[in-house]
Amino acid sequence: MKTITQDRWNAAQTAEAANWQDAASRSSRVLYELTEHSEAAKVLDTYLGGKEDLDGLEVGIGPLGTGFLAVHAAGYFGRIIGLEPLPILDVNLADKALQEYVRAIQSRVEVVQAKGEAIPFGDETFDVTCCINVIDHAQHPDAILEEIRRVTKCGGIFVFGVNTLSLLGRIKWRVLRWMRPDKFLFVAHPHIYGWGQMSRQLRGQSLTMLWDNKPSLWQRMAGHGRMSFWILERASAAICVG
C-alpha cells in the first residue's frame, strides 16, 4: 500500500482534528460513533464467548477515546489500551446522561498517544487487537498491519475494518479528488481500497480468516461504499512463527 508524505499526513490529521472537535459537542454524532460497528461486535462475541481478563489493543481509538472494544466488548477484557495520534477530546454534550456514559466508556481505556506504524509494546502482548476505520487515514498502512500482527499473541484475534469502494466508486473518487483536492473527504482519506485488494493484503500477513462481510460481485463492481469487516486469527501457538 502506498506511503504518503509527512506533509500530507499532517494535513489529514489537521482535517480530522477539526472534524472530531465538532463531533464532541453533538449528541447525534456521538451516538452514531458508539453504535456504528455493531455488526462486527455481534460476530466477535462468538469468538470471545467464555473468555475474560483479556489484554486488548485498539489502534486508532479516535479522539472521543471510546473506540470499538470498550463500547462493544469491555466485559471480556482486564485491560484495553487505545492508541491514538490525536489528543483525546473533552466531550461536552447538551445530553448530560449521554456525556456521563461516554466518560464511563473512556474510563475503560488506557490511552497511549502514538502512531500505529510504531506500536510501543513488545511482541505477542495482546489477546485481541482491533483497527477500524484507520488505515485509509494513515501515513504507512502496511506498517500498521505488520505492527498489529507483531503485537498480537499466537492464537489471538484481530478485528479489522475499513471503508471499501467498488470499482466504479474508486474511479469516481479519483476523478472527484482531481477536481476538488482540498475537499475534506479527500484530504482526510489519502488512501482508498477495494474489498478484494484489502482482503489479499490481510491474508498476506499470514492471518487466518475467521469471518468477513464480503460484498456481492455487483457491490464490488458498482455498489456504494461500505464499511467492510474482517475477523482474523494469528496462527495458533503450535505453528506460530515470528
> Is the backbone of residue 107 left (phi > 0), alpha (psi -120 to 50) or beta?
alpha
pLDDT of residue 209: 93
Give the integer Cα–Cα distance in Å for 116 and 130: 11
Give the integer Cα–Cα distance in Å for 26 and 241: 46
Give the integer Cα–Cα distance in Å for 137 and 22: 18
Note the pLDDT tens digit of each residue in 149-191: 999 999 999 999 999 999 999 999 999 999 999 999 999 999 9
Give the integer Cα–Cα distance in Å for 136 and 149: 18
Q: What order do you get walking across the sheet with 126-132 strand by strand?
A: 110-112, 77-83, 54-59, 126-132, 152-164, 226-234, 207-212
What is the average pLDDT across 94-118?
96
Collapsed DSSP state (helix, strand, coil) of residue 180: coil
CATH topology of domain 6-234: Rossmann fold (3.40.50)
CB atoms within 10 A of CB 128: 25
Note the pLDDT tens digit of each residue in 73-83: 999 999 999 99
Polymer length of the chain: 242
Is the pLDDT reported for residue 46 higher than 60? Answer: yes
Helical residues (DSSP H) of the chain, grouped into ranges: 6-23, 27-35, 38-48, 69-72, 96-106, 141-151, 167-179, 184-188, 195-203, 217-222
pLDDT of residue 242: 47
Collapsed DSSP state (helix, strand, coil) of residue 99: helix
Give the integer Cα–Cα distance in Å for 229 and 214: 8
Round the average pLDDT of the chain to a whole number and report it: 94
In the chain, the N- to C-terminal Cα span, in Å, equals: 22
Domain spans, the chain: 6-234
Where b means 16+ CB within 10 Å and e means fewer, 5-37 reads eeeebebbbebbeeebeebbeeeebbeebbeeb
Is the pLDDT reported for residue 241 higher than 80? Answer: no
pLDDT of residue 205: 86
75's grid cell: 466485559
Higher-scoring residue by pLDDT: 175, 206 = 175
